Structures are given as C-alpha cells and as structure tokens.
Structure 1
C-alpha cells in the first residue's frame, strides 16, 4: 500500500550516520528535511554536480544555502556525466551518481563515517521504471523495478520514499514551506520517462485509481520470483563449474540453461546478452556433440567460444 511521507519516515531505520543524495529538487529536499528532523546531527548531504546544464552551478549554490541553514554538512562531488555513444543520458547520470557516492565512502574515515545513503526515488518513479522495463520486453530483473534497499561497494543504500507518491511529497513540502529547485530536464518530454510522467500516469490514475499499489505488488512478485531464480542459478553454476563444462550445460532443461548462462555471464563477466544472443548460444551449446565442434558467438560486448570441454567468454 502507498504511504504518507510521515509513515515512510517512521518505518525508515538505516544505520547511522546517514548521507542523503541531495539534488536540490523537491523529492530530495523532502527526504533531507525529514531525515534531519528525525536524526539531528546524524545526517549529511551529498550533491552530485553533473556538469550537464548551465544551471548546475546555481543548483549547487542553492544546496549550499539550504544545508548551511540546516547546519548540515554538504559534500559536492563534481562528475563527468556525459554519455557515451549508444548510452542514454539518464543511465550516464545514474552511473556518475553512484561513482560519486562510492568516492564519498573512500574519503578519510576520520572526516566522513558514512554507513548509509538515502535516495529520494518515490512511488511514481517506481511505476515509471516498471513501464520502461515493460516497453523493453524486460525479464524479471527489470519487472522487479527498483529495490528499497541494497548494498553496493560496501555502502548500504535505501529508498525510504518508494511507496510515497510524488503528490504527497509536494504536499508535505508545502506544509514545511521549503524551497527547492526545478530541473528543466525533468519536464522535457523528449525524454521517455518524462512523457510517461506527464501523459501516462494521469491516464492510469483515471482508469485504475489504485495503480500505484497494484503495480508495486506486481514488481514485488517479480522480485520474489527473481530471488528464487538467482538461488537456482547459483546452485547450477556450482554444478557446471566456472568456466562451465558444456556437457553439464547440455544436461540442464532449457529454462535452467538460460538462467545459469545469464547468471554466469553477469556475475563473472558483467555481460548481459540480448534475448536473440542467448537463444543462439543455447542452440550452439546443444549442437556441440562432437569433440571438434566449434562454438564462437558474439555475446554482449565480447564473445563466447568453446575451448576443449568448457565454454569461455572474453572481451577483445
């Protein structure tokens, strides 16, 4: 069920001290204020200066003023978030933010003792993520949308507002009389996520008033199913070995073969095959019935090939 911001914060219990990812926008402003109110003296802020907009310096100055008024320590991380060919600007910015958070954790522990980072994604962001995954024909990992908590590079991350609507956040901010900045890129409908926010979510609210709850439940079911698949993949990978033995791969059912190949490629090589690549790889594995049968196939950013009895992946 969706929550009010107050309910979400009452249930939020991170390990302290806590850093809040603070852009200066409405959502991160609400999260920062709510955390400072709940844990005075235990909260700091980190602002990622992406360097992508003319207004980026103004955003930083706003964050400096707000944090000074709150007596909150602010760390500004300047990152190059320009996107590579074929990469979306949103993905490049997201990767830059995580690099900034991880750099924060590597700073002098006597000065920065951050154990947890809170990010202000909310229920509408979660629905947008699910719809984008559906539009790409994603599997269970994509349909699981965003997790509420996870660990990365030794840091614990939290999304405490993931069941709070954007409208509720703005109502709470109005009650606090809190100032925030508006990133013009967030209303630019050239970006698919912004078109979903402006056009699709209002239509869903008319047709399915409780869509935030039901869609979130769908993502939770997908996440639970994916957790089971991961357990099976780990067991199967232990059985077939690393690198996998082709004969042992051939003994698996097609669904389990696809599952363990995805897990091996992702966990060992950070490679994600397309559906067509994975289908062809499984076909070629099945065809390896003689000692001399060759296998060489483009998979993600590298290649899979047969070397003796085993399947290998390498990147040029």
Structure 2
C-alpha cells in the first residue's frame, strides 16, 4: 500500500547516527529534511560529486546550502564515474557512489561512527527497476527489485521511501516551500530508465492506477521465492560437497541442478552464468557418463571444468 512521506518516516527505525545520501534532487532533499527533523543532531549527509556534467557544481552548492541551514554535517566526495567501453553509464555512476559510501566509516565524521545509510529511492524507482528487469528477461533476483534494507561493505543501507510515490515527495516539498535541483540528465530519453519514466509510467498509471502497489507486491513475491531457492541451493550444496560432485548433481532434476549451480557460482566464487552458459553446462553435465568425458566451459568471469568426479571453477 502506498505511503505518504511522513508515514514512511514514522515506520523507519535505523541505527543512529544515520547518514543520508544527498544528491540535491527532490527525493534526497526530502529524505534529509524529514530525517533531520526526526533525529536532530543524529543525521549526517554525504554528497557524491560525479563530475559528469556542468550542473554538478550546482548540485553540490544546493547540498551545502541546505545542510548549512539544517545544521547537518556534510561530506562531499568527488569520484570518477566515467564508464568504460560497452559499460552502462548508470551502472558506472552507481558503482562509484557505493564505493564512496563504503569509505564512510574510515574517513568521515570523526565525532561519530556511521553504520547506517539512507537512500531516497521511492515507489516509482522500484517500478522502473522491475520494468527494466522484465525488458532484460531477468529471473527472480531481478524481478525482486530493490530491497528495503541490505548490507554491503560493513554498512547497513536503507530505502525507507520505497512505498512513497515520486509525485507525493515533490508535493510534500512544495507544500513546505522547499527547493531542490533538477538533474538535466533525467530528461535525456537516450537512457532507458528515463524513457520508462517519461513515456511508460504515465500510460501504466492511466490503465492501472494502483500499479505501484501491485508491482511492489509482485516484487515481494519474487523476493520470497528467491529466498526459498537460495535456501534450497545451500542445502543441496551441503549434500553435494564442495566442489560439487557430478553424480550428485545428475541425481537432481534439471531445474534443481541449475539452482544449485547458480548458488555455487554466486556464493562460492562470486560470479554468475548467463542463460546460454548455464544451459550448455547442464547439457554437458548430462553427458558426463564416463570418467573420460571432458568438460571445460566459459562461465561468468572464468571457466568450469571437470576434475575427476567433481566440477571446479577457476578465474579466467
């Protein structure tokens, strides 16, 4: 069910002190204002300067002005968010932001220890993420969309606004007479997420007015199903051993083999297989009926090969 921003903050109980990721846009501006009011003196802000556009200095100035008015300590980190050839610019910027966030415990705010960070992604962002996953043919992990809380690099990240519609956040700011900075790149429909926001969401809302709630419910179902598959994969790996035995895998159904192999690659080796790679691995696994059958396949960032009665993965 959709929430108002005050309702979302009333239900938000992070560990304190809390850092808020502040871009200067409407969403993060509203989140910082609400958090600073709820926990005076217990909130810090962090702005990541990507340096990718001329407007970036204006984002920083807005953040500095806002934090000065609120009495919230602000840390600014400049990062190199340029993307490599063939890489997504959004993914490169996201990775640069998280690397900056993960540096917080060692370099920021020596008066307090920060272990919790709030990020202002909201209900519309969640829908966009699900639609992107669908467009890419994603499985349950992608359709689970963005979690409300997760851990990375020794920090706990929170998304307290995932049930709040984007327009409601802007209405809240306007009612308070608060300003924010519009990112010019948000209007650039060369980016898939922007096309979804500008063209697809209005059409979906016209046809399905409660789409935010129903999409969120589907994402929650996907996340629950994925959690069950992870539990099953972990149980199967205990029985199969590490590295996994070929005969044990062959005793499982093909879907269960795929799940166990995904879990092994992800949890033990930190890599993943494409659908084509995994299908080929399963086909080769079925053909491993003699000790002399050779198996050596490109999987993720390395190779899976047969080593006697087991499968082994090694980096490329």
TM-score with structure 1 setting the length: 0.97
Give the superposition deviation at 1:212: 0.7
Aligned to 1:296: 296
Contact 1:257 1:282 in 2 (8 A): yes
| CA-to-aligned-CA distance 1:66-99 (integer Å, 9 cap, x gap) | 1111110111111111112222111111111111
Report the 3-state secondary structure (helix = DSSP H, G, I; strand = E; otherwise coil) of the residue aligned with 1:106: helix
Partner of 2:93: 93
Partner of 1:72: 72
Counterpart for residue 63 of structure 1: 63
Superposition pairs for residues 248-287 of structure 1, below 5 Å? Answer: 248-287=248-287
- State the match for 1:120 in structure 2: 120
Q: Distance in 2 between matches of 1:108 and 1:92?
A: 23
- What does residue 130 of structure 1 align with? 130
Native 8 Å contact 1:48 1:100 kept in 2:
yes
The whole-number CA distance in structure 2 between the counterparts of 1:241 and 1:106 is 38
Which structure 1 segments of 5+ residues have no match? Answer: none
Q: After TM superposition, which residue ranges in structure 1, 4 or more long, deviate above 6 angstroms?
A: none
1:57 Cα offset (Å): 2.0
**Residue 207 of structure 1: aligned partner:** 207
Distance 2:145 2:32 in 1: 23
Q: Deviations over 1:252-306 (max 9, x none)?
A: 1111110011111111222121111101101111111111111011112211111
**Residue 143 (structure 1) shift:** 0.5
Superposition map of 1:107-256 within 5 A: 107=107, 110-256=110-256
Matches of 1:154 and 1:221 in 2, distance apart?
28
Superposed displacement of residue 104, structure 1: 0.8
- SS at 1:226 equivalent: helix
CA distance in 2, matches of 1:242, 1:211: 44
Residue 4 (str. 1) matches residue 43 (str. 2): no
Moved more, 101-110 or 167-176: 101-110
Question: Could you say what secondary structure the match of 1:117 adopts?
Answer: strand
| Deviation for aligned residue 1:312 | 1.2
Shift of 1:106: 2.6
- Describe the superposition over 1:133-192 as per-residue Cα deviations: whole angstroms up to 9, x where unpaired: 001111000010000111112211110000000110000001121121111111111101
Distance 2:108 2:56 in 1: 27
CA RMSD of aligned residues (A): 1.2
Unaligned runs of 5+ in 2: none
